[in-house]
Amino acid sequence: MGSIHEQAMQYIYQQVLQRLLEHLSQAQRASLQLLVQRLIVSAGGIERVRGMRLLFVFDASRSSTHALACLRAAQLSIAARSPGTFQLRIVTAWQAGMSATTRANLDGSFSALFLYDDPRIELLVFDDQQPLPFDSRRLPSLDQQQAERQEWLLCGHVLDDPRATVNFASHGYLHLAELAYLASYWEGGVDAVISADTLSDRKRFLAWSRRALRQARLLGARPLHACASTLLQGLSGLRRCYLDQLHGRLQGQAQEMDPSRPALRFVTIDDLVSDRDSPGERLDGFLGYRVDDQVFSSPRTGMANPMLLAHLQGLRAEFLCSSSYVEGMEDHLCQVRSLEPRNRLPATLPAAARERWQRDSWKQWRAEASAFALKHYGLSDTQLVCLVFSPFVAQGRRLELFLNRCHPGMLVALPYLHKALRGEPAPEPVAQWLVDISGLSLTHLRTLYRREAVAEGLLLGLQCRGADLRHLQVHASTQGLARVEQPGAR
């Protein structure tokens, strides 16, 4: 019975490979044998390829999806002509801020490539640092959702720069690096990390990593470009440092690199899996991949849905900058257009997003974004407006301005609000109002009250870079803070 089952599975794998080859572009099919040879050489020969385990960090972008398809074709091609093939460990982000389209793309790609039932494939997600098998029906846990929610709120309140709420790209890179680090150590580890990023992207990422690690005093002796373990452990430590600073905690001791641990290799495949001359629509159709018009700024925006980031800029313009929600959104769209050539999005994506914005009313767009924030993060527009003002840091520097603009009825309670934030005795309804209006606990609010707004340093440096890791520029209408520092200013 076991032999019959094995033969049946081999037939299924052959059919999957045949269908996959039919949907790859001519250039990708021609490069497949070169990809196979590169992987065999990396394993140390065809006789050792069966014992090799590769790690691929899947970010659900279109380029990453196509690279995964080529890797699967290489895995099945080796299996068809030799006794065994390599193991592939795929780790992907599974976060509350992911859109329904992104979730469907993940499940559709894994199903089309027949990854769920292949013992040579490991599909992993990390939910609140815990490894779990990928299951498209399981939503992120409440702890994961709360961690993302707190991080987003604290970023907006602590960082005194509009760019901190325009973008979460650096967070996205740190989160993916943390996933790769955890997955590389899990259950026996891996032999190599697959990278499908272009050479220019890899160089920029390494330069950004060195700069950030040096700033955090986490740069070790091993060269980052030569050892994946060093890079991933360094970025994992950088993320912990980032979270410690964000929460106002004392920075923990950096984890020492185990000198006995073998150096983890990078295997680059971008030159063999990407085909810029082909639109890739046939492969998209086979994988069930649909362009997500919400991801209009970059496929690597991090934990926050790009629609929410745009919504936040509309709220900033309306409530803080004496402008309007529509003008804030239009300014955000102008910034997105300026980044299109750098982010190398599919040609149809920016057009699809603009068409949607023109087709749908701003009122409907605003309602969708508000509903998404409430459903996935438990955040109301009232709490997002509070985030935009950042009224609690620096001893409540903008608290009176916030009340003047948004809650004039609470001005009479201003002294009690300051008392509650200082930790002094204050009426319970006042303390509860602070919690309700901010979405943060009283402990977090008191920590914010004691600290100054961050205008420089590691936190701001991480948050003020776009998905291409270049510094972001913010349009004049979204800055606005200089005009409203004084209470009652317009």
CA atoms within 13 A on the CB side of 101: 14
pLDDT in tens, 162-198: 655 555 556 778 888 889 999 998 988 999 999 999 9
Tokens of 103: 């979730």
| Domain span including residue 397 | 391-452
Residue 128 placed within a domain: no
Assign 15 to helix, strand or coil. helix
Read off the tokens for 12.
Answer: 């299924």
Please state whether the predicted TM-score (pTM) of the whole model is above 0.75. Answer: yes
* Pair 292, 101: CB distance under 8 Å: yes
Residue 85, in any domain of the structure = no
Looking at residue 278, the DSSP 8-state letter turns out to be: S
Between 344 and 88, the higher pLDDT residue: 88
Strand 192-195 to strand 265-268: parallel, antiparallel, or no bridges (unpaired)? parallel
DSSP β-ladder status, 130-133 and 192-195? unpaired
Q: Which two tokens stand for residue 476?
A: 């004049």
**261/90: higher pLDDT:** 90
Does residue 420 lie in a domain region? Answer: yes
Q: Which two tokens stand for residue 117?
A: 């039932």
Higher-pLDDT residue of 30, 342: 30
Instruction: Report the distance separating Cα 6 and Cα 370, nearest Å.
Output: 51
Strand runs labelled E in 157-245: 192-195
Q: Mean pLDDT: which of 124-138, 177-191, 285-299, 392-406 is highest?
A: 392-406
Identify the pLDDT of residue 1: 44
In a domain, 224, yes or no: no
Task: Name the more confident of 463 and 82.
Answer: 82
Q: Name the pLDDT band for 489 (thresholds 50, 70, 90).
A: very low
Measured distance CA(160)–CA(465) in Å, rounded:
15
Q: Flag whether 325 is in a domain.
A: no
CA-nearest of 52, 64, 42 to 88 is 52
Domain assignment present for 356? no
Average pLDDT over residues 219-238: 77
3-state DSSP percent of the chain in helix, strand and coil, to 5 = 60, 5, 30
As a whole number of angstroms, the distance between CA 163 and CA 39 comes to: 41
Mean pLDDT lowest among 5-9, 72-76, 102-106, 144-148: 5-9
Say yes or no to pLDDT of 303 above 80: no
Classify residue 439: in a domain, yes or no. yes
Number of alpha helices (DSSP H) and beta strands (DSSP E) in the chain: 22, 6
Reported as a single tens digit per residue, the pLDDT across 114-172 is: 999 999 999 999 888 889 999 988 888 999 889 889 988 998 888 766 655 555 556 77
Residue 485 has pLDDT above 80, yes or no: no
Question: Mean pLDDT in the chain?
Answer: 83
**Rounded to an integer, what distance in angstroms lies between the CA atom of residue 453 and that of residue 320?**
17
List the structure tokens of 254.
């950096």
Question: Which of residues 439 and 246 earns the better pLDDT score?
Answer: 439
Please say if the pLDDT value at position 286 is more than 60. Answer: yes
369-388 mean pLDDT: 93
pLDDT at 300 over 60: no
% of residues, the chain, pLDDT over 70: 79
Q: Which residue has better confidence, 55 or 226? A: 55
CB-based burial label for 6 (10 Å; 0-12, 13-18, 19+): exposed
Among 46, 92, 43, 45, residue whose Cα is nearest residue 67: 92
Is the model's pLDDT at 319 over the cut of 80? yes
Which of 257, 261, 243 is closest to 462 using CA atoms?
A: 243
| Inter-CA distances, 169 with 37, 155, 176, 205, 292, Å | 34, 13, 11, 12, 17
Residue (of 171, 165, 151) closest to 479 by Cα position: 165
Please compute, for residue 141, the number of CA atoms within 13 A of its CA located in the half-sphere on the CB side: 11
The answer, yes or no, to whether residue 395 has pLDDT greater than 80, is yes
Q: How many CA atoms lie within 13 A of 357 on its CB side?
A: 20
- The more confidently predicted of residues 55 and 280 is 55
- Domain assignment of residue 407, yes or no: yes
Task: Give CA–CA dist 427/420, Å, rounded.
Answer: 8
Q: What is the DSSP letter of 454?
A: B
Overall number of domains in the chain:
1
DSSP 304: S
C-beta of residue 335 within 8 angstroms of C-beta of residue 166: yes
Query: Quick one: pLDDT at residue 355?
Result: 58
For residue 211, the model assigns a pLDDT of 86
pLDDT band for position 261 (cuts 50, 70, 90):
low
Could you tell me if 393 and 452 are in contact, meaning their C-beta atoms sit under 8 angstroms apart?
Answer: yes
202 by Cβ neighbours in 10 Å (0-12 / 13-18 / 19+) ranks as middle
